[in-house]
A = this chain, B = another copy of it.
Amino acid sequence: MRDSHLQDFYTFLRFPSISTDDAYSEKLGECAHWLVEKLNGIGLEAQRVSTPGHPVVWAKNKHQPGRKTVMLYGHYDVQPPDPLELWDSPPFEPVLKNGYVYARGATDNKGQILAHILGIQEVMAEHGDLPVNLHLIIEGEEEIGSNNLPGFLKEHRAALKCDVAIVSDTGMIARGVPTLSYGLRGVTACEVKVTGAKMDLHSGVFGGAVANSVTALARLLATLHDENGRVAIDGFYDDVKPLEEWEREAWRKLPIDGDKEILAETGAPALFGEKGFSTLERLWARPTAEINGIGGGYQGKGTKTVIASHAMAKLTFRLVPNQDGDAILKLARKHLEKHRPPGVTMEITDGHSGPWYLTDPHSTFGRAAQHALKEAFKAEVALIREGGSIPIVSQFRDILGVETLLLGLALPNCRAHSPNENFPLENLEAGIKMNKAILQEVGAGGP
């Protein structure tokens, strides 16, 4: 690792680019400015593009006709560091310990996007050009929903025309195991509110005469699953594309014990979920219905003998191919209405949907990605899907018409979004190699 690479990493990490807190707007601006300087310094043409929110950094090399065009995406904004007292060192003063750099944003996403930048820097320094036409897009609002990115993509759709997108913002299944994610779950949301009496009632004076909104809500929510954790909404699984046999086999052969690791990581007393599927299959390829929050009545200390007027629950559904978010919300509404307990009224508020994503890891670009990963890590590549959602990937498909290669460098214990976030220098180095290899592979037209 060159000293200057480490210095760049530290400088990048020292910007408290917390997008969710307006107090840090100026710091985000300074961070974007630094990126523009850095990217111009390595021979790209970089600019800062204003948005209604935080600016997008957009850099290009000199495009030449007849070459493949790659869009490389990352983000320079980070999560808030709270709770501060749980950090072993200040979140914006990077510290190197046992080969890991500790700082907010080390993994998510500064370390990962910097690996690409440094890879580009090395190639530009050596050859004066890249083997592809490059768009490097680094936004400042990923942690707050990338609300202004679709506008940016739409506005510059013609200029951003490309063949494939590359994103390093996902995980490796284990240290040293290069990982290509070729699928993501989508998500859709709704909120249900159950109302009994028009005001909170005394449970002595009225208990037994009218429905209890909390009891009714609990009974309603208990209908969402069967006792084995399978979603009990009629038609919920109708559009689910079955897992391919090759993926089930590939996931069985992954060099990790998914059950053991998830048990250790979550501290749950046991794993639990839909029968007939392995834990990884449930996480990556099966839809869920989760209650993300519930509230009603008295939640303070001790006892208050109240029958709450209303109670609410927040639901999200993780979606997999080929489920449609709006269709799932309709089925959920029908289910909830059918199972509404007596004595209460119900209001359902639909939230927004983000689609699932699935691409072919065996396509030309997919194979190029596998080669690049193998080259960078000198190890067999894990082909996985992920349980979370990355809305921008669908936007790249919808707005720019391209597939995305998810070449994540985040380790399972990277503590993204948590105190003591860290990134190993070995992944920064491997990321640099990976960047060089993938641009080379794509530029050469695939393996």
CB distance from A260 to the nearest CB of B (A): 12
Residues on B with beta carbons closer than 8 Å to the beta carbon of A197:
266-268
Whether B294 pairs with A189 at a CB distance below 8 angstroms is: no
Question: Considering the chains assembled together, what is the distance between the CA atoms of A262 and B314 in angstroms?
Answer: 31
Contact check: which of B214, B218, B293, B386 meets A308 at CB < 8 Å? Answer: B293
> What is the size category of the interface that chain A forms with chain B?
35 or more
Whether A293 pairs with B298 at a CB distance below 8 angstroms is: yes
Whether B299 pairs with A210 at a CB distance below 8 angstroms is: no
Residues on B with beta carbons closer than 8 Å to the beta carbon of A270:
211, 342-343
Question: Considering the chains assembled together, what is the distance between the CA atoms of A386 and B256 in angstroms?
Answer: 63
A148 part of interface (Cβ distance < 8 Å):
no
Copies of this chain assembled into the complex? 2
Contact check: which of B210, B222, B352, B388 meets A262 at CB < 8 Å? Answer: B210
Question: Considering the chains assembled together, what is the distance between the CA atoms of A185 and B208 in angstroms?
Answer: 12
Whether A189 pairs with B303 at a CB distance below 8 angstroms is: yes
Question: Considering the chains assembled together, what is the distance between the CA atoms of A203 and B187 in angstroms?
Answer: 10
Whether A294 pairs with B342 at a CB distance below 8 angstroms is: no
Whether A291 pairs with B212 at a CB distance below 8 angstroms is: yes
A288 part of interface (Cβ distance < 8 Å):
yes
Question: Considering the chains assembled together, what is the distance between the CA atoms of A302 and B210 in angstroms?
Answer: 30
Contact check: which of B196, B269, B272, B305 meets A345 at CB < 8 Å? Answer: B269
CB distance from A328 to the nearest CB of B (A): 14
B-contacting 9-mer, from A10-18, A123-131, A175-183, A279-287:
A279-287
A316 part of interface (Cβ distance < 8 Å):
yes
Question: Considering the chains assembled together, what is the distance between the CA atoms of A306 and B417 in angstroms?
Answer: 13
Q: Across the two chains, which residue of chain B brings its CB closest to A302?
A: B351
Whether A294 pairs with B293 at a CB distance below 8 angstroms is: no
Residues on B with beta carbons closer than 8 Å to the beta carbon of A150:
none
A292 part of interface (Cβ distance < 8 Å):
yes
Residues on B with beta carbons closer than 8 Å to the beta carbon of A401:
none
Whether A224 pairs with B214 at a CB distance below 8 angstroms is: no
Question: Considering the chains assembled together, what is the distance between the CA atoms of A201 and B387 in angstroms?
Answer: 12
Contact check: which of B196, B283, B297, B351 meets A294 at CB < 8 Å? Answer: B297
Among A189, A268, A282, A305, chain B packs the most CB atoms within 10 A around the CB of A268
Q: What is the 8 Å Cβ interface bit string for chain A, positions 299-326, against chain B (1 contact, 0 not)? A: 1001111111001111010100000000
Which residues of chain A have a CB within 8 Å of any CB of chain B?
A: 185, 187, 189, 196-199, 201-212, 214-215, 217-219, 221-222, 224-225, 227, 229, 262, 266-274, 279, 282-283, 286, 288, 290-299, 302-308, 311-314, 316, 318, 341-345, 351-352, 386-389, 417
